[in-house]
């Protein structure tokens, strides 16, 4: 079953996946992932929106007026990025030095902050959760860094682990602030996959989406946990924007009340094996 919240990447060069407020049916957030070969350029203008550019692989040079910024990255599983912040009404040119993929996201802004390159040493890295809900959250444009609406995170979910757990929401319900969010997935190996669930008990939204390498999934409302099956290491890049402004971007989401207790017991009271006294060795069925 196809979902309007699940976008598969296009083949070739240029825009791989793209979403805008008009196409998503929401108010604030735009996102695109772009892949270009060496020698190509990408020119744009931020108009009334702040923009954050994240390199995913390869090397690019971004010209902003008289300023020039070099951004390079082997791949998302090897190193943290630099993040280029561009205020509204900024013209910029991306020159591709080696074959490269990069992400661009934007949200309405007034122009409170200047052009700035955030370097890896400014990024806060957090190991979150516990047991098989342990994951890494890299605050690549977190609330500790200046932006008006945008928030950016990179999340690493190891093989066999969960993230976005306990399930949480930030859709204006249950006292949460309204914030829109995209998930751009990379999987190692590329033949792997993840399962992404969007669910909102109040209005019947409940979808299980099979995320593959290069997929973009929207979190339109409600809760949105992710699981990596054994053998698949999962990365996703979150762009977020909504009604939270400036320091309000640090406002935490609200947990699903059925699962919030797990913050006190990350192992989740696992069943002890074997059940019934018998056991079957490695290689048995099931």
For the beta carbon of residue 142, count every other beta carbon within 10 angstroms: 19
Rounded mean pLDDT, 161-167:
98
The tens digit of pLDDT for each residue in 202-238 reads: 999 999 999 999 999 999 999 999 999 999 999 999 9
Of 174, 173, 158, 286, the residue nearest 231 (C-alpha): 158
Whether the per-residue pLDDT at 188 is higher than 80: the answer is yes
Cβ 23 vs Cβ 67: under 8 Å: no
C-alpha–C-alpha distance, residues 247 and 256, integer Å: 24
The tens digit of pLDDT for each residue in 94-105 reads: 999 999 999 999
Secondary structure, 3-state, 79-127 = CCCCEEEECCCCEEEEEECCCEEEEEEEEECCCCCCCEEECHHHCEEEE
Say what the pTM is. 0.96
Of 156, 133, 174, the residue nearest 261 (C-alpha): 133
Whether the per-residue pLDDT at 280 is higher than 70: the answer is no
- pLDDT at site 29: 98
Rounded mean pLDDT, 13-30:
97
**Superfamily name and number for 6-264:** Jelly Rolls (2.60.120.10)
- pLDDT at site 57: 98
Cβ 120 vs Cβ 82: under 8 Å: yes
For the beta carbon of residue 104, count every other beta carbon within 10 angstroms: 23
DSSP for 51-75, written as a single string: EEEEEEEEEEEEEETTEEEEEEES-
- Summary mean pLDDT of the chain: 96
pLDDT band of 281, cuts 50, 70, 90: low
Whether the per-residue pLDDT at 284 is higher than 80: the answer is no
C-alpha–C-alpha distance, residues 83 and 56, integer Å: 10
- pLDDT at site 277: 74
pLDDT band of 286, cuts 50, 70, 90: low
CA–chain centroid gap for 184, Å, is 5
- pLDDT at site 12: 86
C-alpha–C-alpha distance, residues 77 and 32, integer Å: 20
């Amino acid at each position: 079953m196809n979902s309007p919240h699940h976008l598969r990447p296009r083949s070739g060069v240029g825009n791989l996946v793209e979403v805008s407020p008009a196409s998503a049916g929401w108010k604030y957030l735009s996102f695109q992932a772009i892949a270009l070969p060496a020698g190509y350029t990408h020119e744009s203008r931020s108009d009334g929106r702040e923009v954050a550019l994240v390199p995913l692989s390869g090397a690019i040079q971004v010209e902003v007026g008289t300023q020039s910024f070099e951004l390079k990255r082997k791949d998302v599983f090897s190193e943290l990025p630099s993040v280029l912040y561009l205020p509204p009404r900024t013209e910029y040119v991306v020159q591709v030095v080696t074959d490269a993929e990069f992400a661009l996201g934007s949200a309405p802004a007034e122009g409170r902050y200047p052009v700035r390159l955030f370097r890896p040493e400014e990024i806060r890295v957090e190991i979150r959760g516990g047991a098989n809900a342990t994951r890494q959250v890299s605050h690549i444009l977190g609330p500790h860094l200046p932006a008006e609406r945008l928030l950016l995170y990179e999340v690493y979910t190891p093989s066999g682990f969960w993230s976005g757990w306990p399930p949480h929401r930030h859709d204006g319900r249950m006292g949460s602030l309204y914030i829109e969010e995209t998930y751009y997935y990379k999987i190692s190996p590329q033949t792997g996959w993840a399962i992404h669930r969007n669910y909102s008990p109040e209005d019947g939204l409940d979808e299980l989406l099979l995320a593959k390498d290069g997929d973009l999934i929207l979190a339109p409302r409600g809760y949105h946990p992710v699981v990596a099956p054994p053998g698949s290491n999962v990365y996703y890049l979150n762009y977020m924007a909504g009604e939270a402004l400036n320091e309000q971007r640090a406002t935490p989401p609200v947990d699903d009340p059925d699962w919030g207790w797990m913050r006190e017991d990350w192992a989740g009271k696992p069943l002890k094996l074997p059940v019934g006294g018998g056991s079957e060795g490695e290689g048995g069925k099931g």
